[in-house]
Structure 1
Amino acid sequence: MKHWFHKLLPAPLLSLALLGMWLLLNRSLSAGHVLLGGLLALAIPVLTAGLRPTPVRIRRPGAVLRLLLTVMADTLQSNLAVVRLLLAPQRRRHPAGFVRIPLQLRDPNALAALAMIVCITPGTAWAELALDRSALLLHVLELDDAAAIAAHIQQHYERPLMEIFE
């Protein structure tokens, strides 16, 4: 019974998130949208199972909420900084540049989450993970203090991800 259920629903949280996103994007709870969203929520995790590096095991759920709040606050702050640059490019304080961030994080899911976090934050245009996963190279729109940016990424993103995944 358990084997059959796991084959049908290999990633229940992902399925739930996909269904929720489908319903939110369509702004409808009609039977058709619930049915189609449910089918997609069941099919996508099954079809993409081979793309997920390892099963996800969240060790500290409370850390997920703290990380989410941190990412939201940093994203808001970054959005405001980018708007300032767009509206007044002559007020740019520092040039763009690259920051190398040494990493202790090793879990593939946590590394994927870190890459998503730094790439969705406005003000970062590009990120590359070293082949040995020891460092993240990050392009920053305004680079004033590379050490401070690296410390921020390590403290606010890497450490919580280590709590959650490792």
Structure 2
Amino acid sequence: MRQLFPHPLLTVGLVAMWLMLTRFSLGNLLIGTVIALVAGWAMGALQPSRVRIRRWDLVLRLAVIVPWDILKSNAAVAWSIMTNGHGGTRQSGFVRIPLTLRSSAGLGMLSIIITATPGTAWLEHDQDSGLLLLHVFDLREGSDWTAFIRDRYEAPLLEIFR
């Protein structure tokens, strides 16, 4: 049974998503099941490593902090655009941030957090040196971005995926 459904939650989730996106019919159920089975087999062939979460309390903390930061950033970017950069002083730029985080799951979460936040974009990460290249829409204090990313996101992710 495990070979037919190597990732049962993924398979069920994909079938459910397919049926939500299409009208329910026997044909759509069949097509969705075939697609979900193929995706499950493909995921099984990739053999992803298991992620071990060490601190669930920090996961819940990030689940509150990140949406709040996204809302604040939305407001800041909208205000900056509407006021032409606070009187024309808006300056975009790049920031290099040294990261100590090496876990692929942690880096993946950090990239999602940064990219989902308006006004920032994860551009490049050098695995050897741990340097992250970040583009910031309104770069006022470059050194503050290093401390912000390190303290607000990287530190909890280091504990979660230690």
TM-score norm. by structure 1 comes to 0.75
C-alpha distance in structure 1 between counterparts of 2:4 and 2:129, whole Å: 31
Does the 8 Å contact 2:101/2:158 carry over to 1? yes
Q: Equivalent residue for 1:100?
A: 96
Larger C-alpha radius of gyration, 1 or 2?
A: 2
Does the 8 Å contact 1:53/1:108 carry over to 2? no
Structure 1 segments (4+ residues) deviating >4 Å: 14-20, 25-28, 30-43, 49-53
Identity, in percent, stands at: 37
C-alpha distance in structure 2 between counterparts of 1:63 and 1:15, whole Å: 29
TM-score norm. by structure 2 comes to 0.76
Q: Which runs of 5+ in 2 are unaligned?
A: none
Q: How do 1:1-166 and structure 2 match up within 5 A?
A: 4-5=1-2, 8-10=5-7, 12=9, 22=17, 26=21, 43-49=38-44, 54-91=49-86, 92-132=88-128, 134-166=130-162
The count of residues paired between Structure 1 and Structure 2 equals 160
Does the 8 Å contact 1:128/1:136 carry over to 2? yes
Does the 8 Å contact 2:80/2:90 carry over to 1? no
**Residue 121 and residue 60 in structure 1: after superposition, are their counterparts in 2 closer, same or farther (change >3 A)?**
same
Q: Which runs of 5+ in 1 are unaligned?
A: none
1:132 deviates by 1.2
Q: Secondary structure at the match of 2:156?
A: helix
**Residue 99 and residue 69 in structure 1: after superposition, are their counterparts in 2 closer, same or farther (change >3 A)?**
same
C-alpha distance in structure 1 between counterparts of 2:73 and 2:47, whole Å: 29
**RMSD over aligned Cα, in angstroms?**
3.1
1:157 deviates by 0.8
